[in-house]
Structure 1
Amino acid sequence: MATTFADQLRSLPDEALGALIQLRPDLVIPVPADVSALAVRAQSRNSVARCLDGLDEFTLAVLDAARLTRAADTALTSVRAVLELTTGISEEDVRLAIDRLRVRFLLHGPEDGLQVVGAVDEVTSPYPAGLGRPADFLDPQAAALCADPAKLRRTVLAAPPGARAVLDRLAAGPPIGALTRDAVAEPVRWLVDQHVLVPVSEAGRAPRPDGELVELPREIGMLLRRDTGPLGVLRPSAPVPDGPVRDQRAADSAGAGQTMEAVRAAEAVLESLAAEPAPVLRAGGLGVRDLKRLAKAAGVDEAGAALLVEISYAAGLLGEAENGQNQDNFLPTGAYDLWRAAGIAHRWAALARAWLTMTRQPGLIGRRDERDRPINALAPDAERAGAPQARREALTALAELDPGAAPAADDLLALLAWQAPRRARGRETAHRDAYAGAALLGITGLGALTSYARLLLTDAGPDDGDPLGVHPEDAHADAVRALDQLLPAPVDHILVQADLTVIVPGPPEPELATELDVLAEPESAGGASVFRVTPASVRRALDVGYQAADLHALFRRRSRTPVPQTLTYLIDDTARRHGGLRSGSAGSYLRSDDEALLAEVVADRRLGTLDLRRIAPTVLVSPRPVARLLGALRENGYAPVAEDAGGTTVLTRPKARRAPSRSPRIAEPAAPVLAGPRLAGVVEQLRRGDIATRAARRAPVTVRAAHGQAIPGLTAVQQHTQAMAVLQQAVRDKARVWVGYVDSHGATLSRLVRPVSLSAGYLRAEDERGESLHTFALHRITAAVTEE
């Protein structure tokens, strides 16, 4: 019969052992050598604490009941004892909670002899269920009081109001109080004099009459909980959040609209940084003034701008580049151009993936750290390793509700606190930030989780086609397709109005979007975008190489409405004036066949800073650079063009500055998903490790002596030359031998093999049990003995 923890694990069938590994994947990172090593790891503090973090409130309460009902002499409990302590709860719910603890091996053993894993007491509160220690452990007089139930009730009923308030507070847990205020000193002193409270030392082990800490004995705490039960209020099922239930189609529609707005705002932020790069602060991060500028450019508040900046950086769309003056600036990367050319659904999926997995908490931006300094966007102070898990917890809780459920943030936090109270403690702010970020990105619509976001949260499980999970992007293809069906189809046409506004009735195709960036100025964005054609935008189009005829043809091809005559006149008039002036380097020069136009330029006081000077009837020169000359002329209503030394017009398409490309900063999941072939392989490896361990125990005495084990009557270790002789003979006879060797990690192992060849410093041998071929370096072999 199995008696040890390792024996109980070893006796499990493969399905049960695989279930344990799935519930506690940290046990096989890395895969232990055998089941004994697995058992040691399963009882370690870190692994037990990680397992407890995933348990719900009721299961933890049942675990506390098991701790409270342990016998003093054997430290064992039973299912019946736990059932007696969980009064008012159905037996089925309690047994299900016990099964959850047993399948995780936090409780193990038969029903009448359950044992709590020792590390549970080390990583949980020393006061199970908020109850103190027994009275006979704390103080003999308190034990005598608790031994007389009638006297104990009379003493509690006779407590003054202040003392009764103290008792109620300690009964709710934890049962330890401190004398820190004079206002409570008198009521506490009365309770101490009546032996209802026991003074304890700070270590909580030995009584100390003059101590500042007091403890409520367990028996008195259970008496005060007579209305709620010994364990307090128990909730076997999760609280159901109150809130409206949205129509799923309405939620999806609202969410899809928000995804378009999120993509537009992210693009606006990055375009603003491309036009005017923001310097990197000396302490790291983005300055407050630059963040306000980006928020204004994107049409969002500062919190929204901070979130978009963080997501863009995590997605690899934003990076840092030196400006040539030993100053790093934030700039879009080369990946931004590829991202911008993709469809809206793909662009949104890239942002959503980065948000889900980035180890940043944008909600902290704008707050102050422990040194009372503001936390800036992209600063190191906003780094939080637990942020990805907090987001996934919040969204998973939403996904587990009925479709269309739109709970309030407080109700969602209450649900999370029940599902994993140990993990949710201290993460309230992170969960609220996750809820707000999901709304801004369109993951939720009208407060409800959208259908495409549910697909985004569903990771692709390992299958026969991808057993190692090396194509995680396939997990989001369904989400992209679902969102594509909700978004309006990209349009390839525009509606030109008489007031020179251009309406795009939907998301523009990439080619049309590129044309509009040159031809018009954006005025508003949304389901339908509005642009305006201005003289400056027409001149910009002419600067990049369009001719007047090209612009007329483009508007005729793209517009579903007749091109207004005002637009035709604007293009022709701007084109006629365009290139009337030409500049080059002198500093710079300005020439024109129109002498009257040059005379007007020279006489223009607004251009006095250019220091223009006529050197010929048709030529002016300036000491200023060409770029400054062109900019000043254009700002004052002229339309010059640049030319090279041969007089050929130079087309000036603005060159976009980009930071070096960088990989998205995405956190890896805490543990891989183990299922199917991978899980079966881990279980098989553990079983093989057990076989190898048992085989090592059966190895001949000479081999074990070579490994340094103490063997009575053996005073010398077999020489290396003798081992080589045994192996050479085994190769000739095709006999099996025991080989002792030291692996690359310094561990000493033994293996029964059949040598195949011995050459070039290596032994090649077959392991018939494992049906595999092994190669041993000869200098690592410590012994070799023929099988008897």
Structure 2
Amino acid sequence: MPASSTSALSLAARLRATDDTELARLLDARRIRDKRIDDFFDLADALLDRASIQHALSRLDRHTLAILAAAPRPTPLDDIVRRARVSDPEDPLRIARALALLDLDDERIVSVYDAVTEQLEAWPSLGLPSPAELLDEPPPPALEAVADADSRFLDRAASERAFATTTAVGELVTEVSVQPARELAKGGLALPDSKRLAVAMGAELHAVPAMLEIAERSQLVERGPGGWNAAESATQWLELPIVERWLRLAGSWLATLPAEIRALLAERPHAAWGEGLAQYLGWLFPAGGDWMRDRLTRYTRDAELLGITAQGTTTGPGAALLAEGVDAARARILPLLPPEVDRVYVQHDLTIVAPGPLAAAADARLRRIADVESRTLASSYRVTQSSLTRGLAAGETRESIREFLTELSLTGIPQPLEYLLVETANRYGALRVGPADRDSVDALPGAKSRIRSNDATLIGAISVDQNLSALALEPDGDRRLVSRFEPDVVFWALTEARYPIVAENEHGEIVPVERPRPPATPPAPEPNGIADLLARVRRSGSSAPEEAGAAWIVRQLEVAIRNRTGVMVTVRMPDGSQVTYALEPAAVAGGRLRSRDRRADIERTLPLSHIVAVEPLG
């Protein structure tokens, strides 16, 4: 259905005067990509297409829709505010104008485009509220509150869930910092990586996507070339106390919540969400449909996981978060969380047990020299030769490890652990990888690294290890191997194969090695999308100014003729003066416009070369 001439003409003129940045935002929000759009009139028609308008309306809240419904014709803003009962119209106006659903002139007159009004008037046939209902239908009843006795029970349950989720997200972030989780082309994590993350978190497989989404929302993980990686801010977050880590997750959830929903939930502490919240969202976004239901599902799911709700009811910490923000939430949840401990039990079987959540700094350092076995209220770790080697490679020494464990342990250092520490420290440095030297290059042209050890048996085992075949190792004597790969690549391959490898520089000095962080993948530019469309419509007016002006006038007249609507035509007279006529254009041919003068009720034929402006009538 073609857009009305008035809407198309005025919108095309507005689009032509809009800068590319604002136009790009508009086209992105309205999902306009049609390759058949060649000029601003085509673009105006696309934006005024009823299907495109319906998609835009489906994302608007009732207050913005009420502004649109209150102005079926150009109307002063003050009159719209009274009729729509909107206390602060600036945000709804800004949103609707940015979506090209209305315009606002310097005199604060609101003009809703005709096609928008027509679509709203057709809503009852789609099972949606009429314009009158958008203006007058009251919101559903407030959410139902629960008893104080129940709220105390719910707060305890919520704190347990908040602790478990924060801990699980921490394990997920730690795991992807060691090995990225691969993202499938069709979306979602690869199954092996999902299973690996579930094991690391101690969670069910189906919980992985939700935990990943919470971590992404909090900017703790990001997509990189190899999949999902830990973000730069993750290291600092992992070093925070448990309550501060929870606040980061809960605060990120709160930031995505629409202000209207936040206000509703804040007004009713310890209120049951359930059907009442769904009804309110249905009222607030009357055309929301699937996207609104999906968003509600995510809000409520993550609220449960974070302890903002328990059994669908706002908890004390959740109510404080919604009403007063993160500082108030901290005060409410801190007494409910298990207290952190700074001491552990070191046992003869080389396990280390923390009787409560271990303080972040102690946990982070303990992970350098021990592997996590379980992560609950009472976490357990296991010390192995491999984990001690990892710690030594990260800069620890035998003395620093012994001093740290002595200070941390409530039971001292058992003799088996002392033996393992001494043995590992004595062996540490026996197998080294460093940059290739002259001898290495002589043995293998193009060599970039070499492995050396005084243990010929160990070098022999590495040379025939099929797990290392990708390194293409070549012998250089009986105690050296060389590779075309960089030393850090060889180091991590041997580390993952559980060899006691250390890195050294060109002077033979042992140096710590950090696993490189893959850079985040920038979003791929969209082919033949917004940029191409903007280039096409700009080219349509890129001729000489006088030619572009004449083409613009002719195009406006053609649109008016097609839609049989009137225009105001300004004509330059022979004496240089200008006269404006209210005309109904009939035809453009031979360099002349044939039309009927509405005021004089006569036919006028005007030279196109004398027409200096065309504007929508009225």
**TM-score bracket relative to the smaller structure:** 0.5 to 0.7
CA offsets 1:499-527 (integer angstroms, 9 cap, x no match): 32223344433422320120211111122
TM-score (norm 2): 0.56
In structure 2, do the counterparts of structure 1 residues 554 and 262 end up closer, same or farther at CA, with 3 Å as the change threshold? same
Structure 1 residue 537, shift from structure 2 partner: 1.3
State the distance in 1 between where 2:223 and 2:322 align. 31
- Give the match for residue 437 of structure 1: 302
Judge conservation of contact 1:583–1:643 (CA < 8 Å) in 2.
yes
Deviations 1:641-689 (A, max 9, x none): 44444333x13343241434999xxxxxxxxxxxxxxxxxxxxxxxxxx
User: What is the match of residue 250 of structure 2?
Assistant: 352
Matched with 2:174 is 271
Distance 1:294 1:26, change over 3 A: same
CA displacement 1:437-459 (0-9 Å, x = unmatched): 22122221343212222233337
Among 496, 517, 528, the alignment partner of 1:657 is 517
Matched, 1:588 2:588: no
Q: Which residue, out of 207, 222, 233, partners 1:335?
A: 233
Question: 1:6–1:35: 8 Å Cα contact kept in structure 2?
Answer: no
Deviations 1:141-180, CA, capped at 9 Å, x for gaps = xxxxxxxxxxxxxxxxxxxxxxxxxxxxxxxxxxxxxxxx
Deviation at 1:530, TM superposition (A): 1.7
Q: Give 1:493's aligned residue.
A: 343
Residues 539, 639 of structure 1: 8 Å contact kept = yes
The amino acid that maps onto 2:384 is T
Aligned to 1:375: none
**Counterpart in 1 of 2:393?**
543
Q: Which amino acid letter does the alignment assign opposite residue 221 of structure 2?
A: L
- Secondary structure of 1:655's counterpart equals coil
Separation (CA, whole Å) in 2 of partners of 1:436 and 1:559: 39
Q: Aligned-residue CA RMSD in angstroms?
A: 5.0
For 1:44 and 1:437, the matched residues in 2 are separated by 41
| SS of equivalent residue, structure 1 residue 351 | helix
| Distance (whole Å) between structure 2 residues aligned to residue 301 and residue 442 of structure 1 | 18
Q: Which amino acid aligns with 2:507?
A: G
The Cα shift of 1:406 comes to 4.8
C-alpha deviations, 1:169-226, integer Å up to 9, x for none? xxxxxxxxxxxxxxxxxxxxxxxxxxxxxxxxxxxxxxxxxxxxxxxxxxxxxxxxxx
Q: Does 1:37 align with 2:103?
A: no
Residue 353 of structure 1: CA displacement? Answer: 4.0
**Structure 1: distance between partners of 2:264 and 2:424:** 59
Is the aligned partner of 1:20 residue 2:92?
Answer: no
Equivalent position amino acid for 2:306 in 1: L
Cα distance in 2 for residues equivalent to 1:631 and 1:440: 36
Q: How does 1:671-690 map to 2 (within 5 A)?
A: none
Question: What is the aligned partner in structure 1 of residue 402 from structure 2?
Answer: 552
Of 200, 204, 225, which aligns to 1:301? Answer: 204
On the 8 A contact 2:267/2:323 being kept in 1, the answer is no
What's the offset of the Cα at 1:554? 0.8
Query: For residue 255 of structure 1, what is the aligned residue in structure 2?
Result: 158
Q: What is the correspondence of 1:152-231 to structure 2 with a 5 Å cutoff?
A: none
- TM-aligned CA deviation for residue 541 of structure 1: 1.5
Maintained 8 Å contact 1:255/1:445? yes
Once the two structures are TM-superposed, the CA of residue 428 in structure 1 deviates from its matched residue by: 3.9
- 1:569 partnered with 2:428: no
8 Å CA contact retained: 1:244, 1:405:
no
Structure 2 CA distance, aligned partners of 1:343 and 1:518? Answer: 18
Contact 1:332 1:659 in 2 (8 A): no
The aligned counterpart of 1:86 is: none
Query: The residue matched to 1:319 in structure 2 has which SS?
Result: strand
1:579 aligned partner: 429
Q: How does 1:98-117 map to 2 (within 5 A)?
A: none
Taking the aligned partners of 1:555 and 1:564, their CA distance within structure 2 comes to 10
The answer to whether residue 283 in structure 2 is matched with residue 422 in structure 1 is no
CA distance in 2 between counterparts of 1:433 and 1:547 reads 47
Distance 1:487 1:620, change over 3 A: same
List runs of 5+ in structure 2 lacking aligned partners: 1-71, 98-102, 131-136, 441-448, 524-567, 579-618
The match for 1:456 is 321
For 1:220, the equivalent position in structure 2 comes to none
Deviations 1:348-373 (A, max 9, x none): 33333444555xxxxxxxxxxxxxxx
The number of aligned residues is: 430
Residue 188 of structure 1 is matched in structure 2 by none
Superposition pairs of residues 87-98 of structure 1, within 5 angstroms = none
CA distance in 2, matches of 1:5, 1:579: 82
Tell me if the contact between 1:443 and 1:450 (Cα under 8 Å) persists in the aligned partners. Answer: yes
Equivalent position of 2:481 in the other structure: 622
Query: Whole-Å Cα distance in 2 between the matches of residues 639 and 291 of structure 1?
Result: 29
Task: Please tell me whether the aligned partners of residues 432 and 452 of structure 2 are also in contact (alpha carbons under 8 angstroms).
Answer: yes
Q: Which residue of 2 aligns with 1:316?
A: 219
Larger radius of gyration, structure 1 or 2? 1
Query: Would the aligned equivalents of 1:245 and 1:406 in 2 still touch at CA under 8 Å?
Result: no
Shift in Å at residue 307 of structure 1? 2.2
Alpha carbons 2:181, 2:229 under 8 Å: kept: yes
Q: Which amino acid is 1:539 matched to?
A: T
Does the 8 Å CA contact 2:348/2:414 hold for their aligned counterparts?
yes
CA contact (8 A) 1:248 1:450 kept: yes
Change over 3 Å in CA distance of 1:17–1:398 after alignment to 2: closer
Offset, 1:534: 1.8
Instruction: Show the 5 A alignment for 1:29-178.
Output: 32=104, 37-38=109-110, 121-125=121-125
Question: Is 1:646 aligned with 2:507?
Answer: yes
Q: Cα offset for 1:24?
A: 8.3
Query: 2:365 — aligned with what?
Result: 515
1:410–1:289 CA distance, 2 compared to 1 (3 A):
farther
Residues 656, 478 of structure 1: alpha-carbon distance in 2 compared, 3 angstrom cutoff? farther
Code of the residue aligned with 1:588 in structure 2: it is: R
Residue 413 (structure 1) shift: 3.8
Q: Within 5 Å, which residues of 2 pair with 1:455-494?
A: 455-458=320-323, 475-494=325-344
Whether contact under 8 Å (1:548, 1:571) holds in the other structure is yes
2 CA distance for matches of 1:421 and 1:556?
A: 60
SS across alignment from 2:381: strand
Q: TM-score, normalised by structure 1?
A: 0.45
CA distance in 1 between counterparts of 2:323 and 2:156 reads 21
Partner secondary structure for residue 479 of structure 2: strand
> Residues 557 and 252 (structure 1 numbering): CA distance in 2 closer, same or farther, change over 3 Å?
same
Structure 1 vs Structure 2: percent identity of aligned residues? 24
Aligned to 2:7: none
Describe the shift of the 1:506–1:600 C-alpha distance in structure 2 as closer, same or farther (beyond 3 A). Answer: closer
1:285 Cα deviation (Å)?
Answer: 6.0
- Matched residue of 2:286: which SS? helix
Contact 2:184 2:190 in 1 (8 A): yes
TM-fit CA distance, 1:238: 3.2
- When residues 336 and 515 of structure 1 are mapped into structure 2, their CA distance, relative to the original with a 3 A threshold, is same
Offset of 1:411 from its aligned partner? 6.5
Q: Deviations over 1:691-713 (max 9, x none)?
A: xxxxxxxxxxxxxxxx9999xxx
CA distance in 2, matches of 1:355, 1:332: 19
What secondary structure is seen at the aligned counterpart in 2 of 1:21? coil
Alpha-carbon distance, 1:552 to partner: 1.3
Preserved CA contact (<8 Å) 1:496 1:502: yes
Is the partner of 1:522 in helix, strand or coil? Answer: strand
Shift in CA distance, 488/612, structure 1 to aligned 2, threshold 3 Å: same
